[in-house]
Structure 1
Amino acid sequence: MIESITDSFIRRVTKSLQRGKQVHRRLPDGGLVYIDRPLPFLILFRHPEGEPDYATADFVKATASYIISSHECNHQVRPLVQSIAKAMADEFGAFLIIELMASHEKEAPMFNILGPEKQLPATVKVLKDELESIKVSGIHSSVKTVSNEKLLQEPLCLMPEDELKKHAVLILGIELKPVYKNALTGAIYPLLQRTLRQKIADAIKKTAFDFMQVQGTQKPVHFQALGRRAVNRVVWRIDKQLTSISDQFRFLLLVTPVNNNEAWEEFKKSKYEKAPTFHYRLMPVDTDKLKRELYNISIEKVDDPTLAYLFRDKRHELDKMITMLSDRGKPDFLYSSMQLYGGVDSQLLKVAEGILAAIPEPTRDPDAELIPVPEFAALAEQEIAYLKQQHPGVNSGVDVRDDIIGLIVSEGRLNVGTDAKIPRSRAQALIQHEVGTHILTYFNGKAQPLQQLYIGSPGYEELQEGMAVLSEWLVGGLDQDRMRILAARVIAVHHLTKGSTFSENFWRLKDKYNFTHETAWDVTMRVHRGGGLTKDAVYLRGLVHLLDYLKQGHELEPLLIGKIRQDYIPIVQELIYRKVLRPVPLKPRYLQDDSIKPKLEQLKTGISVFNLL
C-alpha cells in the first residue's frame, strides 16, 4: 500500500495500461485500483465521510476495471482517474466513467441514474433499461434519470466539462438504494447483495458495450468480452480444493452393487418376490470429515460473480453426494437422490409410456451375435487412439474388470464388465456413447484451466446422457430395444418415487411391458441400488431436452466443451468471450463424418424422440 497517490505512481499506472498490462495496486487508507487490462471504462466508488461503506464498495469488485477510494484520499484520486481516462480514450476513441454511490433518501427509487440531460441519450437509456429489468427477491427495480450536474461540480468533479469533451469522456453516476442492508442494524443480507451485485455488473458491461459500439474506435464482439480475463490465485485454489474433494470418491462405483450375479440368483430363488441383498464397496472416506472440509472452502473470497456461482453450485452438489454416501442403503438415500437428479414429471412419463406403447414387445433377435468382450475392448481402444491423435493430453484406456456391471466410464477410463453382453450391432453405438461422449468431454474439460469442466458441473449427467444417446442414433445404432430400456428406466424411477418395492417394479416391467427376466432385473437393480437412485431417468429426459435445444437452432459442438449442463451454456460462452476458457481440442468422429451431416441437419429442423424410433 502506498502512503499517497504521487505523480510518479500515476505515471506508472498509466504506462502499465498503455503497454497492455494489468494494474492491481493498493491505494492509501485501504483503497484499491484494479484494471484487468486496457478497457474503455472505469467504475469508481468513493467512501463517504464518516463510516466507510464496504457493502456498497463491494459492488464494483464484480467488474473488470474499478477504483475504490477512501474518503481521506478522494482528492488524490482525481488526477489518477484523469490520467487513466485520457490514456484509454486515446486508445479506444472514447472512455466511460461510472461512479457508484449509495443513496440515503427515504423516498429514493431503487436506482438514480445521473446522466447528461441532452447528450448521449442512447447510452443512458441502455443503462436505464438494464437496471429496470433487475428483479431480485420480489423487488422490482424503480429507476429515475436525473442530471449528472453534481458529478461535474465540487467536491465530486473528476474532470472539467471542457476536458470531458476534448477527450471524448462520458461520466455517469448510479445512486443505489441500499436494500441489501438492514436500515436499523446495518447488517448485510448476503444473498440479496450477491445477486444484485452480479446483475448490476452485467448492466454496466452492457452499457459500456453500447457506448463503445456508438462512440469507440474498437468494437467489442460481445458485452461479456468486457469482463475479467485474469483469474486470481484464490480462484485456482478453490477450483483445486473442490476437485480434490470430488476425486476422493467414485460416486457411481460406490452406489453400484458388487454382488450383482449373486443377488440375481438370490432373487430367482425367492421366485422374484423378495428384494435381494446388495453389497457395496467399502467406503473410502469419512463423510463427516469430508463435509467439514467442503464447507471450509472460502468461496466467499471469489470476487468474480460467475466463477463464484460455479463453485457454490458444485459445493451444493458435492454436499448432496456426500449425504447420499452416508445414507447408502437407507431410505433417506432416495430423498437426496431426488434433490440431485430430480424425479419424473408428467410430460416425461407420457413420453416413456408412449415409447413402450409404440414398441410393446422386444424387437432384438435373442440369438443375435454378441461381440466378445476382448474384441469390444480393442475397438474402444482404437477409438481412444483416434482421440489421442487430436490431443496428446488424452490419457485414457480400457479396463476389463469382474467387479463391473456392463460399461462405466470413471475418471476418463472405460471400465467393461467381464460378463458384459453387447450385441455386435450395438458395438459402434456404445463406443460413441462411452468414448465419443463421456471420455471425450472428460478430456475436453481437462484441457481447460478450470477443473470443474472435467469433474462435472452439477446436473451434468442429463446433458451428457442425452448427447451420448443421440450419438448412438447418429451412428445408426440406436435400436428400438435400447429406446424401450430408456423408457423402462423412467417408468421404474417414477414408481420408485411413488413407493413401489423392488419386486413390484420388477414384475411391472416383466408383465405389463414384456421385458425379459434379465432386462427387468437389470433396470430394477439400477433404479433401486443404494436405496433408490433416480439418475436413470436422466437418459430419456436429457434426450428430450437436447432435441428441443437443437430444434431452437443451437449447435451440438459447443456442448462438448466438458461435463456441463444445458443451462451452463451462457456461462461457458461468457468465459470464452473473456478468454478464461480455451478452444475445444477434441471432436467426436461423427461430427467429422460427411455421411452423418444429413442427420445433423435433420436435428435442426426439429424432430421428437418418436422420430428416432
Structure 2
Amino acid sequence: MLTLSEQECIALIKKGECFHAEVESGAFIIKIDEYSPVICAAIHNGHNLRSELEKSFLLSKEERFFEEDPYTDELISSFPIQLIGNDSRFEYDLNRAKTLSTYFKTAWDKQVWKKPLSSAQRAKSHKKHQAFYNVLEAIVGEVEHRFKNAIIFDIHSYNYKRIEKDTPTFNIGSGQIDVERWGKVVDQFEKQLNKIALPNIDVRAATDEVFQGRGYLISHVNAHFDNTLVLPTEVKKVFMDETSGEAYPLVLEELKAGFKNAVSETAAYFARRYGKRTSTQKADVLSSSISSDVLKIDKALFALCKNVETLNYINPVNIASERSRFLKNPNVNPNFTYKQLNINPYKFREHLYQLPVDEIMDADIQQLYRHVIDNLANKIDLLSTIGGENFLYNSLKYYGAPQASDVENAKFILHLNNSELEQHKAVHSADDAVEYFKQMAQQWGLVCRIEKSNKVVAKAMVNSEKSLLMVNKDAKFSQPELHAYAYHELGIHMLTTLIAKKLPLKIFALGLAGNTHSQEGLAIYSEYCSGSLTIGRLKTLALRVLAVQHMLDHNNFKKTYHMLVEEYGSSRESAFTLTTRVYRGGGFTKDHLYLKGFRDVLHFAKQNSLDNLLMGKAGLLDLNVISEIVERGMLPKPQSLFDLTYRSSGNPVLDFVIASIK
C-alpha cells in the first residue's frame, strides 16, 4: 500500500491510474483496482486519534466503538473503488459539514474532551476532512466522465439494542435522494438486501424506517454532481457485540458475501438504466484482475498441499498378492498394507489454518478458499488414519454416506433385465486399451502419458500430478467400455487436470470442496453424452452404492464379497475389486458418489451449461463463484472436447431408467 498526499492522490486519479494508498498520513484509505461506475465508502470505519488528542480524550475504547462503525470496511471489501475512513469520527466526523465535524466538547450528551479543542487542533482535523472530500470529488468526477453516471454506496452501521421496536437489518435513507429520478434503484437495492440470509437472524430491509439519510456525504455529492446517486445505508450491528465491539465472524462472513451480491446487482441495474452499457451485469461492476493477495495465498496453499493426493495412499500396495490369496480362499478377509504418509498431519493442519485468508478482500473468493482449506483439513484427517479405526469416521466426514434415496435408486437399477449385459464381452486387454486411449488423446490434443500399472484398483485412473492415465494391467474391456473410459478418464479427468495446470490459480488443481461428487458425476455424464453409457454401467454404479452401504452395515470384507457374488451375480474378480474399493483404508465411502453425482450433474445440465465445471477439480458447491470469476475475465472459460449439452440418448429404455433416478 502506498502513502500519498491529497495532491498526489488526485493527480493519479486524473491520469486514470489504479492504486491502493493511505492518504494524508493515514487519515483514510483509497483503493482503485479498476475504474467502475460503483464507489463504496465506509467513512465511519476508523478508530484512530491523533496522539495529541488521546491525552484529553475521555471516552473508553468500548464507548468509542459504540458510536463508530467498525467492520464496515469489510462489507465493501469486494469492490474495485473504496474509500475508507481510518480516523475516529470523534476526531472529525466525515458525515458532518467541515465546521461541524469536530465536536467542540461533547457528543451524544457525553463529554468527549477534558477541555474544548483549540482552534489549531480543529484546523488539523478540518484539513483532513477537506482532503477526503477533495479526493472524493476527483473520483466522482473521473467516474462520471467515464461512465456518464456514478453510484455511491455510503455504508454505516447502527446500534439497536436500546431501541424497543423491531428494527430492520438494513435501512436505506432516502431523505436527500431525488426519488422521482432514482426511486427504482432504491427499490432494487432494498429488494436485493432482503435476499441476504444470515445465520440465526431474520433479515429485513427497509427505507427511512430508522434513519432518513441526512448525512453530509450525500449532501456534498448532491451539491457538486448531478449524475451521481448516493445510497446512505445503515446496517444493524447484528454482526458484532455493539457494546464491546467484538465481531461475530460467521455472521460477518455471510454478510460480506450477501452484501457483495446486493450491491453488485443494484449497481448493474443502475448502470443498465442510466449508464452507457445497457447490457451491464453484476460481473461487469467488479474487478477483472486477480488481486495480489489472492495470488500470494494461492501460491502458499499449493506449495503446502500439492502432494496431498488421496489415491496415492489409499490403494493397497499388496493388492495383487491379496487378490490371489483371497480368491483361493474367500472365507478369510484380506490383510491390506499401505504406503506410508510422508506428511506430518499436525504441522500440516497448523500451517493450513495459518494461511492469511482474511487478506482476500473479495467475499466470495475468500469463502472459496475457506471451503478448500476446510476440505483439505478433512482430507489430511482421512489420510493420517488409513488402516486405523478412525478412518471410516473420517471417510464419512469427507465423502458422506449413501442416503435412503441413493440405496433405493441403486436397487431399482439392479432389478432391471440383465439381457444387455450379455451383449458386450470384455475382449480387449490392457495393451489394447493403452493403444486406444493414446489414439483418443492424440485426437483430442491432450498432452499426457498413458501406461499400464499394477498399482490401481480400478480399470483405469488418472494421476493428476503426473498427467498420467494408468491402466490396470489385468483389466479387460468391452468395446463400449473402452469408449466410455476414454470419455470418462481422458475427456473429463485428464482434460480438467491439464486445464488446472495452465491456470494462474492453483486451487483448481488441489480440488474445490465437493469436487469428487461433481467431477465423477460429470465424468459419468460424459459417458452418457458419448452414447456409451449402458444399463450395465449403471448397474456397476448401483452395486458401488450397495457395497458401501453393506460395508457400513456389516464391516466385513468377505460378507460384502459374498453378497455381491451370491445376490447380484458378480464374477469373483469383479466382486473382489469392488469390495476392495469400499474396504480399502478401513472403509472408503467415496463410491456412493458416482451415481449421486451423475444424477445431480444430469439434472443441472438440463437447465445450465456445464463448461465451468471443467475448471480443474471444480464442484457444484462453488460453481456460482467459478462462473462469476469467468464472467469477470479473471480466468478463461474452459472449453469442452465434446458437446455437453443435455439431450435424449435415443435409447428409450436408458432414458426411462435415468429419468427414474430420484
TM-score (norm 2): 0.83
Which has more radius of gyration?
Answer: 2
Matched with 2:286 is: 227
Give the equivalent residue in structure 1 for 2:340: 282
The aligned amino acid for 1:232 is S
Provide the rounded CA distance (Å) in 2 between the counterparts of 1:473 and 1:145: 51
2:327 matches 1:268: yes
Amino acid at match of 1:264: R
Q: Is the 8 A contact 1:543 1:609 kept in 2?
A: no
Counterpart Cα distance in 2 of 1:217 and 1:608: 51
Please state if 1:387 is matched with 2:383: no
Following the alignment from structure 1 to structure 2, what is the Cα–Cα distance between the partners of residues 356 and 287? 41
8 Å CA contact 2:3–2:22 kept in 1: the answer is no
| Counterparts of 1:283 and 1:112, CA distance in 2 | 54
Q: Structure 2: how far apart are the matches of 1:149 and 1:174?
A: 9
The yes-or-no answer on 1:373 pairing with 2:434 is: no
Report what 2:143 is aligned to.
88
| Residue in structure 2 matching 1:353, options 411, 416, 422 | 411
Question: Distance between the aligned counterparts of 1:560 and 1:124, measured in 2?
Answer: 38
CA distance in 2, matches of 1:141, 1:40: 28
Task: Note the aligned Cα RMSD (angstroms).
Answer: 2.8
The residue number in structure 1 matching 2:394 is 336
Q: Secondary structure at the match of 2:39?
A: strand
Given residue 196 of structure 2, which amino acid in structure 1 is its aligned partner? I
| Aligned residue number for residue 316 of structure 1 | 374
Q: Higher mean Cα deviation, 567-576 or 218-227?
A: 218-227
Structure 2: runs of 5+ lacking an equivalent: 48-63, 88-124
Could you tell me which of 268, 271, 274 is aligned with 1:212?
271
Once the two structures are TM-superposed, the CA of residue 69 in structure 1 deviates from its matched residue by 2.0
Following superposition, the deviation at residue 126 of structure 1 comes to 0.9
Kindly provide the CA deviation profile for residues 471-526 of structure 1, in whole angstroms up to 9, marking residues without a partner as x: 22333332333222111000011122223421221111111112121111111110
2:172/2:231 contact within 8 Å kept: yes
The alpha-carbon distance between structure 1 residues 486 and 76, as it changes in their structure 2 partners (threshold 3 A), is same
Residue 614 of structure 2 is matched in structure 1 by 560
1:597 to partner: Cα distance: 9.0
SS of structure 1 residue aligned to 2:533: coil
CA distance in 2, matches of 1:495, 1:95: 62
- State whether residues 93 and 218 of structure 1, in contact with CA within 8 Å, keep that contact through their aligned partners in structure 2: no
Q: Which AA in structure 2 matches 1:98?
A: F
Aligned to 1:391: none
Do the aligned partners of 2:456 and 2:470 also contact (CA within 8 Å) in 1?
Answer: yes
The letter for the 1-side match of 2:444 is L
- Whether the 8 Å contact between 1:152 and 1:159 is mirrored in structure 2 is no
Contact 2:69/2:156 (CA < 8 Å) preserved in 1?
no
SS for the counterpart of 2:261 is helix
- Deviation, structure 1 residue 385: 2.1
Determine the structure 2 residue equivalent to 1:449: 504
Change (3 A) 1:544 1:574: same
1:37 corresponds to which letter in structure 2? E
Q: Of 521, 527, 530, which residue of structure 1 is paired with 2:585?
A: 530
Which has the larger displacement, 222-231 or 568-577?
Answer: 222-231
- 1:25 lines up with 2:84 in the alignment: no
Query: Does structure 2 conserve the Cα–Cα contact (< 8 Å) formed by 1:46 and 1:74?
Result: no
**8 Å contact kept, 2:345–2:384:** yes
1:225-266 Cα shifts (integer Å, max 9, x gaps): 212223222211221222223322331121111222221233
Letter in 2 for 1:164: F
Change (3 A) 1:83 1:597: closer
The counterpart of 1:121, out of the listed 171, 177, 183, is: 183
3-state DSSP class of the match of 1:248?
coil
Aligned to 2:13: 13
**In the alignment, residue 145 of structure 1 is paired with which amino acid?**
T
Deviation, structure 1 residue 124:
0.5
Structure 1 residue 100, shift from structure 2 partner = 0.8
In the TM superposition, residue 328 of structure 1 has moved relative to its aligned partner by 0.6
Q: How many residues align?
A: 591
Q: 1:415 is matched with which residue?
A: 470
Distance 1:341 1:254, change over 3 A: same
Offset from partner CA, 1:124-182 (integer Å, 9 cap, x none): 0111111122221121223331299976665x4553635332xx111110111211111
CA contact (8 A) 1:380 1:431 kept: yes
Given that 2:31 and 2:81 are in contact with CA atoms closer than 8 Å, whether structure 1 keeps it comes out as yes
Task: Tell me, in whole angstroms, the C-alpha distance in 2 between the residues paired with 1:4 and 1:310.
Answer: 33
Change (3 A) 1:149 1:89: farther
Check whether the contact 2:514–2:621 (CA below 8 A) recurs between aligned residues.
no
8 Å CA contact retained: 2:345, 2:381 = yes
CA deviation profile, 1:76-127 (whole Å, cap 9, x unmatched):
2112111211221122121111211121353253222112263311100111
Letter in 2 for 1:571: V
For the residues of structure 1 that align with 2:264 and 2:421, how far apart are their CA atoms? 56
State the distance in 1 between where 2:322 and 2:136 align. Answer: 73
Closer, same or farther: CA 125–151 of 1 in aligned 2, 3 Å: closer
Moved more, 452-461 or 195-204: 452-461
Cα contact 2:197–2:258 (8 A) shared by 1: no
Q: How does 1:183-194 map to 2 (within 5 A)?
A: 183-194=242-253
Q: Secondary structure at the match of 1:42?
A: strand
How many Å apart are 1:527 and its aligned residue?
0.5
**Structure 2: distance between partners of 1:598 and 1:171:** 48
Change (3 A) 1:137 1:379: same
Displacement after TM superposition at 1:34 (Å): 1.0
What pairs with 1:19-168 in structure 2 (closer than 5 Å)? 21-28=17-24, 29=26, 31-47=28-44, 53-71=69-87, 72=125, 73-105=128-160, 106-107=162-163, 108-115=167-174, 116=177, 118-119=179-180, 120-146=182-208, 154=216, 156=217, 159=220, 161-165=222-226, 168=227
Q: 1:93 to 1:373 in 2, by over 3 A?
A: same
Q: Are 1:396 and 2:392 an aligned pair?
A: no
Q: Structure 1 counterpart of 2:203, which letter?
A: S
Match of 2:230 in 1: 171
Compute the displacement of 1:361 (Å).
7.5
Is the contact made by 2:70 and 2:245 (CA closer than 8 Å) also made in structure 1?
no
Q: For 2:40, what is the secondary structure of its paired residue? A: strand
2:32 maps to a residue whose letter is I
Closer, same or farther: CA 74–606 of 1 in aligned 2, 3 Å: farther
Counterpart amino acid of residue 343 in structure 1? A
Q: For 1:151 and 1:4, locate their aligned partners in 2 and report how far apart those are by CA, in whole Å.
A: 31
- Tell me the CA shift for residue 351 of structure 1: 1.0
2:308 to 228, 249, 257: 249
Give the unaligned 5+ runs of structure 1: 389-393
1:177-196 deviation digits (Å, cap 9, x = unpaired): 21111133221111111111
DSSP-derived class of the 2:179 partner: coil
Distance between the aligned counterparts of 1:43 and 1:209, measured in 2? 14
User: Paired residue for 2:106?
Assistant: none
Residue 184 to residue 369, structure 1, CA distance change in 2 (3 Å) = closer
Q: Is the 8 A contact 1:387 1:440 kept in 2?
A: no
SS of residue paired to 1:266:
helix
Hey, what does 1:459 align to over in structure 2?
514
The residue number in structure 1 matching 2:350 is 292
Equivalent residue for 1:609?
658
Which deviates more, 110-119 or 568-577? Answer: 110-119
Q: Deviations over 1:39-76 (max 9, x none)?
A: 11211111368556442222222222210123443332
Contact 1:60 1:201 in 2 (8 A): yes
SS at match of 2:596: helix
Give the structure 2 partner of residue 307 of structure 1.
365
Local SS of the residue matching 2:220: coil
Other structure's SS at 2:245 match: coil
Q: Deviations along 1:315-341, whole A, 9 cap, x unmatched? A: 111111111111111221111111211
Name the counterpart of 1:432: 487
After TM superposition, the score normalised by the length of structure 1 is: 0.89
Amino acid at match of 2:640: K
